Amino acid sequence: MKLKSIALVSVLAFQACASTPKTTLGEALVFNPKVKGQDDEDAYKKASEYRDQQRYAEAENALSQILKDFPKTRYRKAVMFDLVFVNHAQGLNQSARAWLAKVREEDWAGDEHDRIAYFEGLLRESKGQAEDPFLKEADETKGTTEANMTNSLAPVVYTELMSVNEQLRVDPSNASLLAHLDQLLNVERTSTLIRDNTFDGSIVQEHAYLKRIRSYLASGEVESLKAIGSEYMSKHPQGVLKELVAKYTEHAGSLARVDKGRVGILLPMSGDYSRFGKSTFSALLLALGVEIEPEWLEDGVFPDSIRTSNGLEILLRDTKGDSAHAEELAFDLIANGHVMALVGDIMVDTAPMIATQAENYGVPLLALSREASLTEIGQWTFRLATPYASQNKALVEYLVNNLGHKRFAVLYPEHPYGLEMSEDFRRQAESLGAKVVLLKSYEHNQTTFTKEARIFAGKPELSALPEYQDCAESAETLLSKSDVQEALEACEASVDLRDVRYDALYIPDNFKSVSFIIPALVAEDLLVSQSRGIIGAFRQTTSSRMKPIQLVGPHLWYHKDLLRRLKGQVEGALIAHNPLILSSGDEASERYEELFDREPDTLASVAYDAGKVLLKAFAVSGIESREDLRQRLVTIGEVQGWHRPFSFLENGENTLGAELSQVQRRDFVLIEDDSKHELN
């Protein structure tokens, strides 16, 4: 697992591991967060969680620890103000005053005059007197500070907003932070933040302005939008949102205009991925009841605008698979095309850019990409594709809950997909109390796996043990070579090479690579098949009573050539994949096969589902605005897709999830959704 950069690690901590070999690395170093790969961001997030949950004593301990472990932390200001607050919240006002005194000694204290005065006022009220030496200035400033608040903020909300502000200074595009801030910014707080000069120059105030701008855009109040945009620019001429706000004010009139029933489609219709774009768009048109003209496919050129019999107007734009171009096209469709909704893209690189534009300007997006972060961008994205991570979730839950497996091995290729899936599989396993005990990578497109097979067949090496990998990565951050060497020796002493048993082997790669890996494992006498004939022959030949290792793979295994190449060697393998198209033989499927000489693939089914969503969404009256359409999608209920019925969850994801199949008698057999079902 890739870990974030970490600070200097104490060699004594590693020596503690070495002296107690039966103690795990995590147990030996439980009080040293840096050793476990935690940086100041991780530590502050945890402390903030304690604070938000009103676990103030734990928050105080965590915050104090941050200052000890990371004295120059980028969150120092936020941590110190939080320490004032959590002590005050516990009634420990003397400690709170002591921390406030330390705040006043900081170099940056002069820039936080209003904020300091706010807390001084709270502490003065708690004490019931104003002669406290730390609170003298509060008498003069408290009235002014409170007068600037058009609506009062509860101390816990104030502190939370300031905490979010400090984190956004470090990472202004952090999606989870922005989503959390959006939840905090209700109408009353937005007004307070805009009018209260305590927040002048803050990032949270910028986002309060942005929220007000978006509300004016949604209601079509163009002049009010321009006015509040101009006010923002005067207060934040160098703000992080200045370019976005400038676009709002410059294009306010055109952004507010919406043509009912007009939908923008963004797909790669030219370039390396054009064949996928064309087949995807064709599936969408089939769902909308549009007859596809033969010359469109022959010439490779589709009309830019198509009207459907249901009253929709489809505007097609070619992203060319380029993220910057996709971003420009999305804005153009919104500002100049006046679309009510967007659909697209299938590409991982372009999809986030489109989703960001949809969120910026309040346009519902039916996303066709599996890119994991899309629905985290905001409330305007509704995903039709199933994220790859959901496959791991389905796999791990079945392995742990249905089969009782707790120890896993992972062999993965060194490319982005392999890294992402292997790390996610490990996270999913740990979340259910299971463990990855063996973790090894190989080169992309590698075809010989003798070395790897020996490691997984009972001859493990240190570098393949996750606990050793984590420990060694921490050790490498030490400054001197002697300390590094001593720490690595302690890492080696903390793991046991004799205890690398595992129940299941996960390989996140395609069927071609797997067809090279499995024979190599078999050659090293590792039993991976659940075929009774193969198990019997194995035991007769080796005199071993070894239980078969459960093979596990992603959707890339779901290919007939895997069965043709490996036959009984993959009997019993468990495979996660997107929902299968169960309606083959219907008119749309037959037409698709006629056009493309193949069965509908996953991309086609996702686009078809998007078309069905559009039809159901616009079938009711009263859809006059983009907000109307968004609300309709939230409450749309069940939609009959190409896979099966589905709907949308509150976070914009669909309810389809991943499905599991097992290799049985050289065929893929779908495992029904039944918690009592057992693999054969």
- Condensed to tens digits (0 to 9), the pLDDT of residues 132-160 reads 443 444 344 444 444 444 345 677 778 78
Q: How many CB atoms are closer than 10 A to CB 13? A: 18
- Whole-model pTM over 0.85: no
| DSSP calls for 276-322 | HHHHHHHHHHHHTTPPPPHHHHHHT---SEEE-TTS-EEEEEE-TT-
Partners of 344 in the β-ladder: 266
pLDDT of 126: 62
What is the token pair recorded at 295? 């010359």
Decide: 342 and 326 in contact? Cβ < 8 Å: no
pLDDT of 416: 84
What whole-number distance in Å separates Cα of residue 517 and Cα of residue 453?
8
Decide: 175 and 153 in contact? Cβ < 8 Å: no
Mean pLDDT for 97-106 is 86
Please calculate the CA angle 618-619-621 and round it to the nearest 5 degrees. Answer: 85
pLDDT digits (tens, 9 = 90+) for 25-60: 332 222 233 333 457 888 888 888 888 778 888 888
Residue linked to tokens 């107690």: 20
Percent of the chain with pLDDT over 90: 47
What whole-number distance in Å separates Cα of residue 112 and Cα of residue 95?
20
What whole-number distance in Å separates Cα of residue 614 and Cα of residue 629?
10
Parallel, antiparallel, or unpaired for β 668-670 and 659-663?
antiparallel
Mean pLDDT for 226-252 is 94
Among 69-73, 122-126, 255-259, the least confident range: 122-126
Among 60-74, 272-286, 430-444, 612-626, the least confident range: 60-74
Question: What is each CA distance from 678 to 44, 270, 568, 673, 675, in whole angstroms?
Answer: 43, 46, 19, 11, 8
Tell me: pLDDT of 94 over 70.
yes
pLDDT digits (tens, 9 = 90+) for 529-574: 999 999 999 888 888 888 999 999 998 899 889 999 999 999 999 9
pLDDT of 11: 32
What whole-number distance in Å separates Cα of residue 180 and Cα of residue 510?
38
pLDDT of 588: 82
pLDDT digits (tens, 9 = 90+) for 355-374: 999 999 999 999 999 888 88
Decide: 589 and 599 in contact? Cβ < 8 Å: yes
Average pLDDT score over the chain: 83
What whole-number distance in Å separates Cα of residue 424 and Cα of residue 551?
17
Parallel, antiparallel, or unpaired for β 639-640 and 645-646?
antiparallel
Residues counted in the chain: 680
Residue type, 289: G
